[in-house]
Structures are given as structure tokens and as C-alpha cells.
Chain A
Amino acid sequence: MSGQITPIGMPKWGLAMTEGKVNAWLVAEGAAIAAGDDIVEIETSKITNVFESPVAGTLRRQVAQPGETLPVGALLGVVAEAAVDDAAIEAFVAQYRAHQAEIGSAEAAPEPVMVAAEGWTARVLRMGPDETAAAPLVLIHGFGGDLQNWQFNQPDLAAERAVYALDLPGHGGSSKVVAEGGVAALAASVWAALAALGLGRVHLAGHSLGGAIALRMALDQGARIASLTLICPAGLGPEINAGYIDGFVRAERRKEMKAAVETLFADPSLVSRDMIEDLLKYKRLDGVPAALRTIAAAAFADGVRASVMAPSLATLAVPVQVIWGAEDRIIPPAQAAAVDAARRHVLPGAGHMVHIERPAEVNRLIAAFVAAA
């Protein structure tokens, strides 16, 4: 019976999340839902997001009540076909709870590891099946970000294949010394990390500066790239919000950082106190301000006119798609026009951090594109 019953557990978004608060159910008990429907809104200390149903069926139970704070993995609700009888649902809930009580919070979440690559040390988080023939997907974050930017994407995308998210040089937990900060140098660093990880042919998805790096890698060694997903990428056109880059690099205080980071989102209320605090903690580390200045000067100086790569797309043999937030205030979505209309997805209601603001759609687009490549 339990094959037809799907538990909705408290998700784990990001390395630090241990619990979440149920803000509101978005679907009534007894309502029919499709796979991908928003069913419950969950708030963590860092961000609020909606959780989507992984399956179609009927929301049979809202086990967790709005306002409740529960640990990762705790049962929030149950989805099943309408045909499954109530007794079976009750038994399932009881069994799930007993199992949770037994394992407690000991269930091991994947932890990032430090990888010694040529020229730098990369922090890398791997998720997904241990052994799979499918080419892995590598996620490359943007300027000032880190692998946790993919917290809503990496777990979903790792259902079918191994997914690696890495911290770029000077970012997150990676080494902070950046000798040369240009897109080509950073692409070489990522190649070195892939070599250290023993990865051959990979799918790449890059956000912002990470998009420029991924595109550079595809232009360098197209045979090793199975597909390329560019999310609000730098590098296609010359325009970039230099005020943002400068503001982020300069920000030392909460207020300055908040003002800068709010421009990343269509909905600035997503910027939480903890998000700002984490960014300030990162920027206070020895070597980080210097690394960011080096990268900003080399990769973004004079707009990005020095390295506009859109003209090279015509010669690129790698399948490429572009995903953009329609309200991106960092890099204009008009630059998406460099990619064929069929592979161009401009999502309304989202800003530069489209993969955080609209994770479900971004995940679907990446999963489908990668599967077809």
C-alpha cells in the first residue's frame, strides 16, 4: 500500500538548515494536486520558500500545522491517491513517525569536501546516486556567491545523476588567493577542479559570472561539455550593473550589504537578516576583499566589453539554453536574445537570483534539458 502513499517531509535547504517553520498550507486537505504544485510554504532562518509536491495525487493529511517549527525530515503531510483508505494513511503516518523517532536527526546530509586542485583548493558538495552512467552536472555560482546558492536546486537535480556544486576561487570555503581573476583564468581553475575530481564529460550550469565561466569552458573544450545552461549569465553582452559589483565589493556594514543584495531579487523581502550576516561573515575573512577586487577588476572592468562571447555561440557545438529572471537588475534579460527562442526562458516575477526565486521552474528546465542532451 505504501507505494501509493508519498510522505512530504521537511526539506533541507542549505548546509546549515536543521529545522524549518511551516508558514502556511497552500493546498487544502483533500484537494487534488499535480506534480510540481506549490503545496506548503516553509520559512528558515535564512529564507522563505514554497515546497512543491513531488507527485500527483490528493493531499490527504496536513500533519504539520502552520506556525509549527520542525526538524529536517519531519513529516509535514501525506499525498496519496484518493482510493487509498484512511486507515492505511493513519498507519503510514504512525509508521513514518516511529521511524523518524528511531533515526532522530542522525540521517547523514551530504557535507562539502575540500579538493586539492592544481593551483587552488576547492570546496565541493556532491549529491546524487553513488554509481551512475549518466554524465554528472556541475553547478557554478556567481560573483560573491557560493555553492549554497544552489540549495533549492542541487537536491532536486541530483535525483537522476551526480550533481557537483563548487565554490569558485576566492569564494565560500575555497582558497582565497586569486592571482588572476578573469573569466579565462577562473575557467582554467574549474577545469583543474574537475580533473582533481576525476570528472570527464559533464553538463554545466552557471549563474551570472559562473555562466560566463561555463560558456568559456564550452568554447575551450566543447567535446567535454554535454550541455550548457546559462542562468542570468555574464559574458553574453557588454552591459552589467557596475554599481552593484562596486557596492557589493565595498559593503562592510549590514545596511550597505542589504542595499546591494536587495537588487539581486525581484522580491527584496526574500533578503533576510541571516542572509546578510552570512555574506558579511564571508567578506570579513582574510583575503576575501582582495580576491573580490581582483576578480571584479579582471572580469567586469569596463562593463564586460573585453570578453563578450555572444558572437561565438554560433560556432558552439554544445547544446545551450539560457534562463533569465525578467526583472534582473544586474544583467539585462535582453541579452538572452543571443540564444535561439526555443532555448530561451525568461521567467516573470524573478530577478537575478532566478534559481532561488523560481527554483521549481528552473529545476524543471535544467532537468529536461540535461536529460535530452
Chain B
Amino acid sequence: MSKKSFRQAVNEALAQEMRRDPRVIVMGEDVAGGLGAPGEDDAWGGPMGVTKGLMPEFGRERVLDTPITESGFIGAAIGAAATGLRPVADLMFVDFMGVCFDQIFNQAAKFRYMFGGKAVTPVVIRTMYGGGFRAASQHSQCLYPLFTHIPGLKVVIPSSAYDAKGLLIQAIRDDDPVIFFEHKMLYDDIDEVPDEAYTIPFGEANVLREGGDLTLVALGRMVKLAREAAESLARQGISCTVIDPRTTSPMDTDTILESVADTGRLVIVDEAHPRCGMAADISAIVAQEAFGALKAPIRMVTPPHTPVPFSPALEDAYLPTPARIIEAARRVMA
């Protein structure tokens, strides 16, 4: 056990699975870096340095730099998965997914169903998401609700280095297509991460804190903010349960419903847009399944329904904050 960053945790998961299983390959833009430029091998390891070190250990056969053509290499990864490899494709920013929706929505997500369970598509698409990086509206979206909406895809949103390693190894070993969301602002977060390989099952929420007054559900980077808010609320005499679903498809609705049955109050924190987002989805499930337990209306803490602003001042105002979570908590407690 040792302290590792989220970046190291993802790197270690990739390296350990590549050592364990020769069918695991990594492909994407700059995952090796320096293709065709002598002396620059393994220069970058992707824009965040996550895949650094993989190319020297596993070679260019298994760590493939691709052209800047998401529609091409995502399709290639899905095809490789359908024919026996276990590719981990790196689609730098989730904002660029649009150009390969057909490969993902109509092909990867459908193979198992359309071929009567006779085909598996063990592909993982790693992708960065989220705001706070001053990267403007085309490089800051969350978009995980889009993928959650499609049956046949699994959607994973780790909130810590420990979860990132265990969920990524699970994703690589899973026989279905998995979209793995990494928040840009989490890469330097440090956590205790075992040196050994381990898996965290999909569809099992993490309960980070237990309290009787209020249930806070948060995803990805929002988990940190929810925890901070819960600590502050505890000092004010309001005790919160904090739940991180970890995966939105499958989603552990039982843990959320059981907690709401105890507390009767729910605040959901989601960095995705409020319309048809995860907060709206979880609200609908709780309203339908646990209406009788609710002592107050459900509250969602999300950005407004607009693109992510480029202006730093506006971006700060746009994103959820602990203060906004506390305000929402006070309103449901009132």
C-alpha cells in the first residue's frame, strides 16, 4: 500500500493488466508520443502523462499512436475487441465523442444483443471530462449522461485514485464496452492505492460517510465537494450520508433508496447539464420508488443549462461549489 496520484493509479492499472493479459493493447492520440520523431519516444504519454512508460515496456505493437481521427481509431478499437483483443482506447476529450457515436452507439453497444449473446466487445474507452480547466466549452463537458442513456454500454466515473485503479482493471476484464471517465482536475489527487491488482465491481456505490439527516449523492469530482460540504454541515449539526454511485450504468439504486428511506431528504450534485442529466435521472428514480419516504422536495445542484463558459470568472460561477451544496442542504432541512 502506498500513496499514489490518480494519474499513477490509472497508469498502474494499465501496466498491470497489460502484463497479465497479452490481449490488452492501448491506442490513442499521443499515448506513446513522438511517432516518427527520433529521440522522442514516450515523450508525452498523452496530454496528461497518464500512459507514460507503457510504450518502452510493451512496445509499439501494443501501444499505438493514432492519427487525430477519433472516428477511425475508435472504430478500429471496437473492431479489434470484436475479434479478440482487449483494447483500451484513449479518446482525449469526451467532447470529441460526437464524431464516433455510430461506432459506439450502433455498433459496440449492440453487438451482444444483435448477435444473440454470441459476440462480446471488451473495449474500454478512456476519456477526460469536466470543467475547471479553463478549456472552454468544447473541452469541458461531462456528457456521461449521453452514454448512460444507451443500453449495452457501461459507464464508470471514478472519484479517487483508489477507485480509478480498481474500476479500470474491472473495466478491462469486463466483456462489454465500457466508457471510463477521468476528470481533468483529479489527476493529481493522492490516495492510498494498493500495489497489487484489485477490482471494484460495477454497480456498487461507495458510501463515504454515514449520517441520518440528509443523503448527498455525487459523482466524479463532485464527490470531493460533497464531502467537504458534509464536513461543514456536520459542524452545523446536520449529519449527511454521502454516496458515490461510482458507475452510472449499471447504477446502484438500492444504496441510494435505502439511504433516502433513512434520511428522507436528498440532494444530488452533478457536474453534467441539468436537463436529462444524472441528477434528473436519480431524482426520477427516487421520486418513483421512495416518494413516501421523502420529507422534503429533492434538490439538484448542477451547473445552469448552458455551455461551459471560457471566462474564468463565469466558469467558477457555473460549476457547483460546496457553498451551493450547503445552501441546497439547508433548504431541504428547513
Chain A residues proximal to chain B, CB less than 8 Å: 173, 176, 252-254, 273, 281, 284-287
Residues of chain B within 8 A of A286, CB atoms compared: 196-199
Known A284-B198, A285-B196, A287-B196; further 6 A-B contacts with Cβ < 8 A: A173-B1, A176-B196, A252-B201, A284-B166, A284-B199, A286-B198
Contact B194 A285, beta carbon cutoff 8 Å: yes
Q: How far is the CA of A254 from the CA of B244 in the complex (A)?
A: 13
Q: How far is the CA of A253 from the CA of B258 in the complex (A)?
A: 14
Residues of chain B within 8 A of A281, CB atoms compared: 162, 194, 198
16 pairs of residues in contact across A and B, judged by CB atoms under 8 Å: A173-B1, A252-B201, A253-B204, A254-B207, A254-B255, A273-B207, A273-B210, A281-B194, A284-B198, A284-B200, A285-B194, A285-B196, A285-B198, A286-B198, A286-B199, A287-B196
Q: Return the chain B residue nearest A253 by Cβ.
A: B204
Residues of chain A within 8 A of B194, CB atoms compared: 281, 285
Give, as a whole number of angstroms, the nearest-CB distance from A69 to chain B: 12
Residues of chain A within 8 A of B196, CB atoms compared: 176, 285-287
Q: How far is the CA of A229 from the CA of B263 in the complex (A)?
A: 46
Q: Return the chain B residue nearest A175 by Cβ.
A: B196
Give, as a whole number of angstroms, the nearest-CB distance from A216 to chain B: 28
Q: How far is the CA of A286 from the CA of B194 in the complex (A)?
A: 11
Chain B CB within 10 Å — which of A173, A176, A285 has the most? A285
Q: How big is chain B's contact interface, by range?
A: 10 to 19
Chain A CB within 10 Å — which of B162, B197, B198, B200 has the most? B198
Residues of chain B within 8 A of A254, CB atoms compared: 204, 207, 255
Please provide the chain B residues from 169 to 195 with a CB less than 8 Å away from any CB of chain A in the complex.
Answer: 194
Give, as a whole number of angstroms, the nearest-CB distance from A73 to chain B: 22
Q: How far is the CA of A285 from the CA of B198 in the complex (A)?
A: 4
Give, as a whole number of angstroms, the nearest-CB distance from A34 to chain B: 37
Chain A CB within 10 Å — which of B196, B197, B209 has the most? B196
Give, as a whole number of angstroms, the nearest-CB distance from A291 to chain B: 12
Contact A285 B204, beta carbon cutoff 8 Å: no
Residues of chain B within 8 A of A287, CB atoms compared: 196
Q: Beta-carbon contacts of B106-124 to A below 8 Å, as 1s and 0s? A: 0000000000000000000
Q: How far is the CA of A252 from the CA of B204 in the complex (A)?
A: 9
Give, as a whole number of angstroms, the nearest-CB distance from A254 to chain B: 7
Residues of chain A within 8 A of B209, CB atoms compared: 273
Residues of chain A within 8 A of B210, CB atoms compared: 273
Q: How far is the CA of A27 from the CA of B207 in the complex (A)?
A: 35
Give, as a whole number of angstroms, the nearest-CB distance from A68 to chain B: 13
Give, as a whole number of angstroms, the nearest-CB distance from B155 to chain A: 19
Q: Return the chain A residue nearest B169 by Cβ.
A: A286
Residues of chain B within 8 A of A284, CB atoms compared: 166, 198-200
Give, as a whole number of angstroms, the nearest-CB distance from B15 to chain A: 14
> Which 5 residue pairs spanning A and B have beta carbons closest together?
A284-B198, A286-B197, A285-B198, A285-B196, A273-B210
Give, as a whole number of angstroms, the nearest-CB distance from B253 to chain A: 14
Q: How far is the CA of A286 from the CA of B197 in the complex (A)?
A: 6
Residues of chain B within 8 A of A253, CB atoms compared: 201, 204
Q: How far is the CA of A104 from the CA of B312 in the complex (A)?
A: 39
Q: Return the chain A residue nearest B201 by Cβ.
A: A252
Q: How far is the CA of A49 from the CA of B207 in the complex (A)?
A: 23
Q: Beta-carbon contacts of B187-227 to A below 8 Å, as 1s and 0s? A: 00000001011111100100101100000000000000000
Residues of chain B within 8 A of A273, CB atoms compared: 207, 209-210
